[in-house]
Chain A
Amino acid sequence: MASAGLTTVVVVDDHPAIVAGLVAWCADADPPVRVVDSGATPAAAWTDPGLSADVVVFDLHLAGQVPAWTDLRRLVEAGRRVIVYTMREDRDTILVCLELGAFAYLAKTEGPDHLVPAIQAAGRDRPCTPPAMARAISTDTRPGRPRLTPRETDVLVNWFACESKEMVARKLGLSVRTVNSYIDRVRIRYAEAGRPAPTKAALVARAIQDGLVRLDEL
């Protein structure tokens, strides 16, 4: 858990420029975020000082062509809050990451606007649904998926289109708070579905504490 409002991050990415960019974004963050370590392999997250970092920012496409599903699963099973930050933004990759227990999924095109807020949210066990993730959820057709109401789908699709909750709220005649709660409740339902993971449990527990969902709704 983040102490004194500071969130610590370890970055697993094989491109130095990505790490440098993330360090620069974090320097201006408020509440503060600090990158404690980085590396081109998941080892950075398993050894100090990365081992004690609150959040792992993880590139799914390290060196090899095959997505690093196993590394992601191991980190999640160890109770790490993992934010997948990678090139691909196709629906199936995103849904598999959520299924495995990733905290959030960001396409690299979304980094400047959404990565730091996602890290801050993860540090506090609060849900965060960046636009690409909203799109993947709104177009999910798998048989066992959590069912969305038409209104929830509407909110997610418009959030993907304009990246501004204020504009979504104005378009749909809702308050920003309601738009947020629609998005977050969907995210919590996805956390509840599928394989259990410590991070998912923390996300759901926090949502219940915050009054975002009630126990009998799940």
Chain B
Amino acid sequence: MGEPDSALVLDRLLHGLRLAILAITVTTLCGFALPLLAADPGFYRDPARQVVAFALLCAVALVAGGQVLRRRFAGRSRWVLVAVVFAASASATTGISADRLMSEAEWSYGVIGWFLLLLLVDRGAVAPAVCLGLHTAIAFGQLALVGRAHESADLVVVTAVVLGCELPVLAAGVALRGLATTSAAASRRAERVRTADAIAEHLHADRQARYADLAGTTVSLLTDLTTGAADLADDRVRAAYAVAAARHRRLFAEHDDVVDPLLHELRACVDLAERKGVAVYLGTCGDRPTPPPEVRRALTEPALRIMARAARARVTVLGSPGGVAVSVLADAPAAEEGEVTGAAAEDRAAGVTVTRRVDGSDVWVEATWRVRD
């Protein structure tokens, strides 16, 4: 996530800088170089080379300007443009006689640097700095080659003025890059904190809702236990405690991060029943979708209630692509109050249908949930 974030911020910041460089480049080319060139073409040894150089730079300005305005960054094609810029520089500086190289009419020296910056500023600091250095070095080399080394001091002054304008812009680019990285990191940190906050808040609300569900039943059971009002010799009273305990176990299991939450929560209920001495067989059949938490609770509830009163139980999870059923076959005594006694009933909130069949001492209860289309 970090990379695209920081790239996005950098892209926005660099766009402004590139627009500024484009404006400077075009202004220098048209407002500074063109008048010099047009003032006296006859002054040059080879005016055609001057025209070619100017035309090449105009072409580069058009292409690069188009890219800047469309917020595009050139790939390898930028190096072709850099080569064209150097070619224009060569064309301009060789089209003027050696003794006039340091005269004001040599218009290209102050322009080339801006083109290099325009083409390379988004690449970081190294590439533009190297190209600017190369251009300066070539200028000094050329002066020496044509036997005008004594004019080097003039070139140093001119270079100081030109680079004095260009290097701060390059430094600004580097600073913007640093700024983008830190701002992206800061926004990532803030995002992480916000996400963690939201999750914690959600979990807290969820837990409070679940504990509120249990508080109504559990607190009264515990109160009865402490005051001695509960008659533990009564099977039904013991079953009520077993149901409450199993619901707690299921609640704890709901917080676990597992592949098959329905089976995991069912195992939590079965585990408690087995500790009580109920012989439980737990089996699954077929693949099944994973139901949402409230559906899982409605599906496991009948099994949980029956196991609280049975001596043996066969619990099976029956899956099909269209839904899932939790089936319990047990030797449960007569139905307890509030339990489904008819052929079918529906937990409307969760969309779970519960059917119940009795055969002699056995009772077969099935809770079925269908995936809604």
Contacts and interface: CB of A to CB of B under 8 A. Distances in A.
Interface of A: 89, 109, 132, 135, 138-139, 157, 160-164, 166-167, 170-171
Contacts of A139: 285-287
Contacts of A164: 329, 359, 362, 364
Mostly helix, strand, loop or mixed at chain A's interface? helix
A210 to B, nearest CB: 27
B131 interface: no
A202 B341 CA distance: 47
A58 B318 CA distance: 29
A171 B314 CA distance: 17
Interface in B291-325: 314, 316, 318, 325
Contact of A163 (B287, B314, B366): B314
Interface string B341-367: 000000000000001010100101010
B66 interface: no
Contacts of B364: 161-162, 164, 167
Nearest to A168: B364
A163 B359 contact: no
Contacts of A162: 314, 327, 329, 364
B281 interface: yes
Top 4 closest pairs, chain A to chain B, by CB: A161-B327, A161-B316, A135-B285, A162-B329
A161 B357 contact: no
A105 to B, nearest CB: 14
Contact of B283 (A138, A160, A170, A171): A160
24 contacts: A109-B281, A135-B283, A135-B285, A138-B286, A139-B287, A157-B285, A157-B286, A157-B318, A160-B283, A160-B285, A161-B285, A161-B314, A161-B327, A161-B329, A161-B364, A161-B366, A162-B327, A162-B329, A162-B364, A163-B314, A166-B359, A167-B359, A167-B364, A171-B355
B262 to A, nearest CB: 15
A198 to B, nearest CB: 31
Contacts of A166: 359
Given A89-B283, A109-B281, A161 B359 contact: no
A132 B325 CA distance: 17
Contacts of B325: 161
Q: Of A89, A132, A139, A162, which is in contact with the most chain B CB atoms at under 10 Å from its CB?
A: A162
Interface string B92-110: 0000000000000000000
A14 to B, nearest CB: 24
Contacts of A138: 285-286
A95 to B, nearest CB: 14
Contacts of B286: 138-139, 157
Contacts of A161: 285, 314, 316, 318, 325, 327, 329, 364, 366
B357 A170 contact: yes
A139 B364 CA distance: 22
Contacts of B285: 135, 138-139, 157, 160-161
B357 A171 contact: yes
A176 to B, nearest CB: 12
B141 to A, nearest CB: 77
A134 to B, nearest CB: 9
A163 B283 contact: no
Nearest to B320: A157
A161 B355 CA distance: 13
A188 B355 CA distance: 32
A138 B316 CA distance: 14
Contacts of A109: 281
Contacts of B281: 109
A170 B358 CA distance: 10
B256 to A, nearest CB: 24
A138 B284 CA distance: 12
B357 A167 contact: yes
Given A135-B283, A135-B285, A138-B286, A160 B357 contact: no
A132 B281 CA distance: 12
Nearest to B319: A139
Contacts of B327: 161-162
Contacts of B357: 167, 170-171
A192 to B, nearest CB: 24
Contacts of A135: 283, 285
Contacts of A89: 283
A168 to B, nearest CB: 10
A132 B283 CA distance: 9
Contacts of B287: 139
Contacts of A171: 355, 357
Given A139-B287, A163-B329, 17 more contacts: A132-B283, A138-B285, A157-B286, A157-B318, A160-B316, A161-B318, A161-B327, A161-B364, A161-B366, A162-B329, A163-B314, A164-B362, A164-B364, A166-B359, A167-B362, A170-B357, A171-B355
